[in-house]
Amino acid sequence: MTVSQLDNFAQKTREFAFSDEDFNALRTLVKEHTGIHLSDQKRELVYGRISRRLRALNLDSFLEYRALLTEANGKEIVEFCNAITTNLTSFFRESHHFEYVRDQILAPLVNDARGARRLRIWCAGCSSGEEPYSLAMTIRETIPDASRWDIKILATDLDSEVLGRGQRGLYTSDRVRDMQAARRERFFRQTTHNGQLAYQVTPDLQQLITFKQLNLMNPFPMKGPLDAIFCRNVVIYFDKDTQRDLFGRMAQLQRPGAVLFLGHSESLFKVSTDYSLIGKTIYRRV
């Protein structure tokens, strides 16, 4: 079957009609609200995710849904953005970044008897919390007296639903299955949730993290300086201009020597000259 035959087939078998106009109107809104650029190839993804919203709201057409999105209270926009964003994450994802934090950021601070006992880290696009909790575990493991330091991890995301999960810190057993047993035992309490085995992060991790909803397209409320920013697997769907603007604003929050971590398929090539590459997707503020 050719691409256009497949498209026709999809149109005929769909529960809701989904025109070019619907797709274009929705992707314009996505770009405006999240910075995410949806290519033509994302058409089926948008149909699949948003038709769930139509069903949940008992609507008959995408046109009705588009009208709801433009209503003054803007409530559905939040659900719409939540439905579109991709929240894939895991504990210690791209583990070399956490090894870098341990060896190159935390260990020198611990060994410097006269150094400042202060650390500010931002996880921008933290999804359901696995990334900031991995950082918190790295900190607790490397700085024995971390409670006496001034350490703050700010964890932000656009998606209110995943952010709520991060804040709660309750994970199903499959999420922690691959974690070293000693780590799991130290930082999680076994419990049950909906009759299933679940794992609750310990308060000493939660104490280090503040979860806040923040759209990276909007002005940043914090002032910095930030020792490290994790912005991993977030900008992959942003166009270059949006990335340039975002990293330009992030650079203003960091002093020379501070570190920025990107996701495995992301880069600052032709995006920012405020940072230099010092490792695998690890950048230093110049």
Ligand X SMILES: C[S@@+](CC[C@H](N)C(=O)[O-])C[C@H]1O[C@@H](n2cnc3c(N)ncnc32)[C@H](O)[C@@H]1O
In the complex, least distance from residue 226 CB atom to ligand X, rounded to whole angstroms: 16
Nearest-angstrom CA–CA distance, 139 and 151: 9
Choosing from 27, 53, 140, 157, which is the catalytic residue?
157
Specify the stretch interacting with ligand X by CB under 6 A; choose among 50-58, 66-74, 123-131, 137-145. Answer: 123-131
Position among 159, 227, 266, 274 found at the interface with ligand X (CB under 6 A): 159
Beta strands at 209-213 and 150-157: parallel, antiparallel or unpaired: parallel
Of the pair 119, 234, the CB lying nearest ligand X is at 234
Sole residue written with tokens 């880069």: 267
- The answer to whether 157 is a known catalytic residue is yes
Question: CA distances (Å), 68 to each of 17, 20, 79, 85, 91, in order?
Answer: 17, 19, 11, 19, 37
Residues 6+ apart with CB under 8 A from 190: 197, 198, 199, 200
- The distance of closest approach from Cβ of residue 158 to ligand X in the complex, given in angstroms and rounded to an integer, is 3
87 binds ligand X (CB under 6 A): yes
263 binds ligand X per the rule CB under 6 A? yes
Q: Which of 49, 117, 184, 186 is catalytic?
A: 49
Q: Which stretch binds ligand X (CB under 6 A): 166-174, 178-186, 203-211, 213-221?
A: 213-221
Q: Rounded to the nearest whole angstrom, what is the least distance from the CB of residue 124 to ligand X in the complex?
A: 7
Q: What is the DSSP string of 194-209?
A: TTEEEEEE-HHHHTTE
Is 49 part of the annotated catalytic residue set?
yes
Closest CA to 61 of 18, 30, 28: 18
How many residues line the site for ligand X (CB under 6 A)? 24
Q: How far apart are CA 242 and CA 215, in angstroms?
A: 13
Q: For Cα atoms 136, 209, 33, give the angle at the middle one, nearest 5 degrees.
A: 115
According to the binding rule CB under 6 A, does residue 85 interact with ligand X? yes
Where in the sequence numbering do the catalytic residues fall? 49, 157
Residues that bind ligand X (CB under 6 A): 34-36, 85-89, 93, 125-127, 131, 157-159, 162, 215-217, 232-234, 263
